[in-house]
């Protein structure tokens, strides 16, 4: 298994280099000059050129990219153009907020999606199935920012149950953003669970278990659900990418000082080191989560575990 994990981790390197290269090229071609935003429009040409040399922006873009990768290998994420603080320090200050919100979203989506998908499959073609899939359709259709605003209007401004912004209320601060972020993922996971369950409960071994007199609830819990979990676990891993991209909107709506909001501000300010630091962090998280999902396959199905050699 350790060899498999090592191979997967080594495969991250070319992906990371490619992502950094693409982002670097996009930031270099974006309109505007980060140096002018820093020194102001009243600065003299000498001041502008001095600042450009200080930031290393006087070198060709490819050389800037190579220098950044060389420093990144040494654990140096560079300094923010705007604050002159180490990017890794800025990320470390904001990452816990994004992590708490994303974990809340994952927990909410999975806790709601699994029962919804299983019940919809067991009660196929009934009104329960219809209601479940209607909820899933809403989740896929409703934009995150609109749902976030509606939740704020109802539960914060009208009822006062949850804070409207910030993180001062502890876990209560992440329930509304977690629900807004996880509702779309919940819908996708529920639909996947339903499809997988429908395929499993039609298998011969399920009919055999029923013919032996095993209670239907036991058949669903012990036999059908476990074998139907692999597509669901796969979908949960894939939804991490959606959660990370959705965190940008969610943190903006709920005023959370997380990585998504920080990255948007960095893009607006053409702060390339900060943008690249966020992208690297998001890429690493997504890769590690998908590695964890692959390892979970082995715990769900021992036949897959034998392949991790």
- Structural domain includes residue 200: yes
Assess whether 51 and 146 both reside in one domain. no
DSSP annotation of 255 reads T
Query: What is the pLDDT at residue 130?
Result: 83
Query: What is the pLDDT at residue 118?
Result: 82
What is the C-alpha separation between 15 and 282, in angstroms, rounded?
Answer: 12
Q: Which of 44, 73, 102 is the last residue of a domain?
A: 73
Q: Which of 40, 73, 106 is the last residue of a domain?
A: 73
Which positions of the chain have pLDDT values less than 70? 1-2, 4, 32-33, 37, 40-41, 166-167, 169, 241-242, 245-246, 297-309
Domain that holds residue 41: 2-73
- Structural domain includes residue 78: no
Assess whether 59 and 162 both reside in one domain. no
CB-CB neighbours of 133 under 10 Å: 17
Assess whether 177 and 60 both reside in one domain. no
- Structural domain includes residue 80: no
Query: What is the pLDDT at residue 249?
Result: 77
What is the total count of domains within the chain?
Answer: 2
Cβ neighbors of 41 (< 8 A, separation 6 or more) are none
Assess whether 201 and 246 both reside in one domain. yes
- pLDDT digit string, tens, across residues 98-145: 888 888 888 888 888 888 888 888 787 788 878 888 887 887 778 777
Assess whether 178 and 30 both reside in one domain. no
Q: What CATH code is carried by the domain that includes residue 197?
A: 1.10.3720.10
- Structural domain includes residue 196: yes
- Structural domain includes residue 112: yes
- Structural domain includes residue 85: no
- 3-class SS of residue 79: strand
Query: What is the pLDDT at residue 302?
Result: 62
Kindly give the interhelix angle for 2-29 and 272-300, rounded to the nearest 10 degrees.
150
Assess whether 54 and 193 both reside in one domain. no
Query: What is the pLDDT at residue 300?
Result: 64
Assess whether 67 and 120 both reside in one domain. no
- 3-class SS of residue 274: helix
- Structural domain includes residue 282: yes
Assess whether 8 and 121 both reside in one domain. no
Assess whether 114 and 52 both reside in one domain. no
Assess whether 108 and 49 both reside in one domain. no
Assess whether 155 and 215 both reside in one domain. yes
- Structural domain includes residue 132: yes
Query: What is the pLDDT at residue 305?
Result: 57
pTM (2 decimals)? 0.75
Assess whether 128 and 267 both reside in one domain. yes
């Amino acid at each position: 298994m350790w060899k498999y994990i090592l191979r997967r981790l080594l495969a991250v390197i070319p992906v990371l280099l490619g992502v950094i290269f693409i982002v670097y090229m996009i930031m270099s071609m974006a309109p505007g000059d980060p140096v002018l935003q820093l020194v102001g429009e009243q600065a003299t040409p000498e001041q502008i050129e001095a600042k450009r040399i200080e930031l290393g922006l006087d070198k060709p873009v490819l050389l800037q990219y190579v220098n950044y990768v060389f420093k990144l290998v040494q654990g140096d994420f560079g300094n923010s153009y705007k604050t002159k603080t180490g990017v890794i320090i800025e990320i470390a200050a904001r990452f816990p907020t994004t992590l708490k919100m994303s974990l809340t979203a994952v927990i909410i989506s999975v806790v709601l999606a699994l029962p919804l998908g299983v019940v919809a499959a067991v009660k196929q073609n009934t009104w329960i199935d219809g209601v479940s899939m209607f909820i899933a359709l809403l989740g896929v259709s409703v934009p995150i920012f609109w749902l976030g605003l509606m939740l704020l209007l109802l539960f914060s401004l009208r009822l006062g149950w949850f804070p409207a912004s910030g993180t001062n209320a502890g876990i209560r601060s992440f329930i509304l953003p977690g629900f807004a972020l996880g509702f779309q993922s919940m819908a996708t996971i529920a639909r996947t669970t339903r499809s997988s369950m429908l395929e499993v409960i039609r298998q011969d071994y399920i009919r055999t278990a029923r013919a032996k007199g095993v209670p239907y609830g036991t058949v669903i819990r012990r036999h059908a659900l476990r074998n139907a979990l692999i597509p669901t676990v796969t979908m949960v891993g894939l939804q991490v990418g959606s959660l990370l991209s959705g965190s940008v909107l969610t943190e903006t709506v709920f005023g959370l000082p997380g990585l998504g909001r920080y990255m948007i501000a960095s893009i607006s300010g053409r702060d390339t080191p900060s943008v690249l630091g966020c992208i690297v962090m998001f890429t690493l998280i997504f890769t590690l989560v998908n590695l964890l999902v692959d390892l979970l396959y082995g715990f769900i199905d021992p036949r897959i575990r034998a392949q991790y050699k």
